[in-house]
A and B are shown apart, each in its own frame.
Chain A
Amino acid sequence: DTGVSQDPRHKITKRGQNVTFRCDPISEHNRLYWYRQTLGQGPEFLTYFQNEAQLEKSRLLSDRFSAERPKGSFSTLEIQRTEQGDSAMYLCASSLAGGPDTDTQYFGPGTRLTVL
């Protein structure tokens, strides 16, 4: 257990439905990242927060995707009008900028999304 938690762990939805995932980072970590991982691939960067500010979004993140980190603590990732191609493992990671292990990202267990 890295200290990063994600909820739910599994989500099955029908095409066209909206889904929302939650990530709780390690409590003192000010950076939070979302990645997506498909079978046989490494994680792909989606977006990044420093405190509550979303500083970068990947081109992979279409307009149907939105992420928030309202108080600089937990974060949510919402996918609207899901498509079958959205089926993947969504991973959250956190890190502490300026600490002794700056740049080290600790991953949560992920949310596995299946779109039928």
Chain B
Amino acid sequence: QQPVQSPQAVILREGEDAVINCSSSKALYSVHWYRQKHGEAPVFLMILLKGGEQKGHDKISASFNEKKQQSSLYLTASQLSYSGTYFCGTEHSGGSNYKLTFGKGTLLTVNP
């Protein structure tokens, strides 16, 4: 089952914050977050494992709510370089722990 991402798109001014959500109808083992700029490869941001801790680096962090089968990506004090499409990829509990199922993405635009 493909995870559902929300919102589909968001426009920010530089310095503003954003939250991107990723929800699954199936029990999750892990959630992987990627950012992809137009015409480029998806770039790995972070992975959250079931039972693991909230992760983050610089001004980007993420959480994993096992009860809700949901992950949220937090971008604070956004920079122009944060623009791109954000994808969550999910691995499901009991499934093959290697195949990622990606959402449709959230297009983030940061304007000056």
Residues of chain A whose beta carbon lies under 8 Å from any beta carbon of chain B: 2, 4, 31, 33, 40-45, 48, 56, 91, 95, 101, 103-110
Contact = CB atoms under 8 A, between A and B. Distances in A.
Contacts, number: 62
Contacts of B30: 103
Interface of B: 2, 30, 32, 34, 40-44, 47, 49, 87, 89, 91, 96-105
A40 B42 CA distance: 13
B5 to A, nearest CB: 8
B96 A56 contact: yes
Contact of B98 (A48, A91, A110): A48
A48 B97 CA distance: 11
Given A91-B41, A106-B44, A108-B41, A31 B104 contact: no
Contacts of B32: 103-105
Nearest to B86: A42
A41 B104 contact: yes
Given A45-B99, A56-B99, 11 more contacts: A2-B44, A41-B102, A42-B2, A42-B87, A43-B100, A43-B102, A44-B102, A45-B100, A105-B89, A106-B44, A107-B34
